């Protein structure tokens, strides 16, 4: 759509943008439109003077501001109509009884000019497709043939006045190009203000955003977070700690259960009669409370710490103690001591944590 001429809004010069977007070029400037408005004002003054320059109506007319333009850059429909007459174009009110009796389908027209509360914009057919050339948009908006009638009806519902442009528009590059190809628009163009706000938010660093929030919602001057925010952060930290603790305890429970089931299975199978079903010993693990698990784990860590200290002092004695403590119960029937079960449980728990950290790093 780069070939389509589209002027964006500047000040209140929407009438100028409307005309240039309609004609697809820089055909009119504010100076030229002001000249047309002044000419219309002079013609109206001369008509009022025919009733007598000393009449009350004439003096009142002279005191009133121009209805064809103002200092903001607004121009009336009369200015737009006279500007188009230079190109042999005429405006007809779309919802007038005269036009409605013609029963013309909107898609068979060439262009429309829409006005609401001193804002003007053009809807024009280029090639075989319709475009909304509103100067408040960042670019042309494609309108399908099926949506055109609904779009115009919606504008009328919102209070817009719609004018049909009759006559031959000047040739333009966009019309010639779009006669040969059809364009597609994946996303509707944004409004100028909407685009500027989004760009400003993207340029603004996060720290500046925080500072802006602090300016609009200042704290009590201590430089600290307010009480609600501080309590929220504390609650969030506690919640994370509880979640981590629950995950660790769950892994430890599962590890101890697997260790108990694996070490006791052969002994239980040989001690029970063949006709008696084996009962599950998961209840033994379930009976271990969270406090008991913590206590055993703490005891294991303390014992490991003592062993490390002893190893630093007498490494040879430590090796013998390790061999003597790990041998007897294993030789007596393959039963695992409580320390061995805790060791296996901790190994599985640590392995689970390492796997979790590795998976997080890969993500």
Q: Where are the alpha helices (DSSP H) in the chain?
A: 14-23, 30-49, 56-63, 77-85, 97-102, 145-157, 173-178, 192-203, 206-216, 227-271, 282-286, 290-313, 315-326, 328-331, 338-362
Q: How far is 189 from 142, CA to CA, in rounded Å?
A: 9
Q: Which two tokens stand for residue 339?
A: 């320390």
Q: Is 172 a catalytic residue?
A: no
Q: How far is 267 from 186, CA to CA, in rounded Å?
A: 72
In whole angstroms, what separates CA 311 from the centre of its chain? 61
Please tell me which residue in 18, 20, 119, 132 is annotated as part of the active site. 119
Helices 315-326, 290-313: crossing angle, 10 deg rounding: 140
Please tell me which residue in 14, 18, 20, 114 is annotated as part of the active site. 14
Q: Residue 22: what are its φ and ψ, rounded to 5°?
A: -65, -45
Q: How far is 268 from 237, CA to CA, in rounded Å?
A: 45
Q: Is 134 a catalytic residue?
A: yes
Name 119's Cβ contacts closer than 8 Å, sequence gap at least 6.
14, 136
Q: Which two tokens stand for residue 194?
A: 């909407």
Measured at the alpha carbon of residue 164, what is the angle toward residues 159 and 169, in degrees to the nearest 5?
Answer: 140
Closest CA relative to residue 130, chosen from 178, 162, 89: 178
Strand-pairing partners, residue 111, are: 124
Q: Is 119 a catalytic residue?
A: yes
Q: How far is CA 332 from CA 261, 267, 326, 337, in A?
A: 18, 12, 11, 11
Please tell me which residue in 20, 21, 68, 134 is annotated as part of the active site. 134
Which residues belong to the active site?
Answer: 14, 119, 134
């Amino acid at each position: 759509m780069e070939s389509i001429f589209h002027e964006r809004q500047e000040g209140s010069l929407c009438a100028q943008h409307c005309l240039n977007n309609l004609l697809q070029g820089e055909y009119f400037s504010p100076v030229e439109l002001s000249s047309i408005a002044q000419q219309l004002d002079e013609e109206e003054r001369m008509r009022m003077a025919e009733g007598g320059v000393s009449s009350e109506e004439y003096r009142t007319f002279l005191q009133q501001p121009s209805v064809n333009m103002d200092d903001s850059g607004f121009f009336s429909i009369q200015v737009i109509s006279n500007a188009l007459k230079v190109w042999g174009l005429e405006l007809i009110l779309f919802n007038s009884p005269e036009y409605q009796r013609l029963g013309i389908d909107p898609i068979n027209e060439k262009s429309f000019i829409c006005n609401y509360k001193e804002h003007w914009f053009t809807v024009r057919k280029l090639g075989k497709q319709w475009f909304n050339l509103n100067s408040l948009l960042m670019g042309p908006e494609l309108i399908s043939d099926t949506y055109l009638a609904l779009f115009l009806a919606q504008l009328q519902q919102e209070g817009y006045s719609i004018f049909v442009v009759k006559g031959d528009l000047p040739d333009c590059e966009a019309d010639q190009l779009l006669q040969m190809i059809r364009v597609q628009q994946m996303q509707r163009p944004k409004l100028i203000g909407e685009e500027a706000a989004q760009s400003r938010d993207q340029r603004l660093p996060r720290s500046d955003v925080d500072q802006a929030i602090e300016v609009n919602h200042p704290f009590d001057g201590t430089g600290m977070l307010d009480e609600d925010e501080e309590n929220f952060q504390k609650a969030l930290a506690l919640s994370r700690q509880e979640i981590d603790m629950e995950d660790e305890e769950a892994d430890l429970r599962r590890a101890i259960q697997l260790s108990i089931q694996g070490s006791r299975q052969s002994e239980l199978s040989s001690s029970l009669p063949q006709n008696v079903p084996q009962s599950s010993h998961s209840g033994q693990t379930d009976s271990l409370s969270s406090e008991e698990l913590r206590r055993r784990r703490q005891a294991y860590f303390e014992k490991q710490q003592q062993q490390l200290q002893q190893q630093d002092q007498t490494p040879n004695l430590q090796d013998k103690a390790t061999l003597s403590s790990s041998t007897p119960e294993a030789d007596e029937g393959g039963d695992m001591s409580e320390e061995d079960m805790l060791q296996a449980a901790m190994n599985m728990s640590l392995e689970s944590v390492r796997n979790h950290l590795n998976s997080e790093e890969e993500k």
